[in-house]
Amino acid sequence: MSDKELLVSEEGLKKLETELENLKTVKRHEVSERIKTAREFGDISENSEYEDAKNEQAFVEGRIQTLEKMLRQAKVVDNHNVDPNAVHIGSVVTVKDLEEDFEEEYTLVGAAEADPNKNHISNESPVGKALMGARVGQIVEVSAPVGKIRMQIVKIS
């Protein structure tokens, strides 16, 4: 992860802080207990429980480091002074795919909050970049692996 600013909403910042706190206070303790229990089984060279617990510990510690760095770089987006008629982080945007003739709704978020399964798209994604600053009625083009996608902004909220 680079050292650039990481844009997040107030809610996104709280989620990151909550996850970090849970990893540090709950998950670390659980993994430590698993390691302790697995050591009691004897020879750790052929102990799959011990190996699994050590792998989980490495994952937890790695995630803690990632979250700490993200929080150091986090900048909460202030949407109080933005143009409500233009797409910005925090906007819920309804777009019409002009080739396939269907509508889709996206919530534009910072990279840390992106979740394609919930249609929360990053401002750094190709679609997010194309939508940033766009207005209702405007047509944007997105370069995608399948080619250019043309979308019209139907609604911003």
* Residue-wise pLDDT tens digits, 12-37: 899 999 999 999 999 999 999 999 98
Structural domain total, the chain: 2
**3-state secondary structure string, 37-101?**
HHHCCCCHHHCHHHHHHHHHHHHHHHHHHHHHHHHHHEEECCCCCCCCCECCCCCEEEEEECCCC
Q: Are residues 65 and 115 in the same domain?
A: no
pLDDT value at residue 92: 95
Q: Are residues 111 and 70 in the same domain?
A: no
* Residue-wise pLDDT tens digits, 65-105: 999 999 999 999 887 788 889 999 999 999 999 988 999 99
Helix (H, G, I), strand (E, B) or coil at 146: coil
pLDDT value at residue 2: 56
Closest residue by Cα to residue 58 from 34, 37, 84, 42:
34
Domain range for 55 is 6-76
List the CATH number of the domain containing 122.
Answer: 3.10.50.30
pLDDT value at residue 16: 94
* pLDDT of residue 1 exceeding 70: no
Q: Are residues 20 and 67 in the same domain?
A: yes
Q: Model pTM?
A: 0.75
* Residue-wise pLDDT tens digits, 98-151: 988 999 999 999 988 999 999 999 999 999 999 999 999 999 999 888 889 999
> 108 to each of 35, 36, 45, 120, how far by Cα in Å?
41, 44, 48, 6
Give domain status of residue 82, yes or no. Answer: no
List the CATH number of the domain containing 54.
Answer: 1.10.287.180
Query: Which of the listed residues 35, 50, 76 is the one where a domain comes to its end?
Result: 76
Give domain status of residue 31, yes or no. Answer: yes
pLDDT value at residue 94: 97
pLDDT value at residue 81: 80
Identify the residue whose tokens are 């750790």.
Answer: 44
pLDDT value at residue 82: 83
Give domain status of residue 118, yes or no. Answer: yes
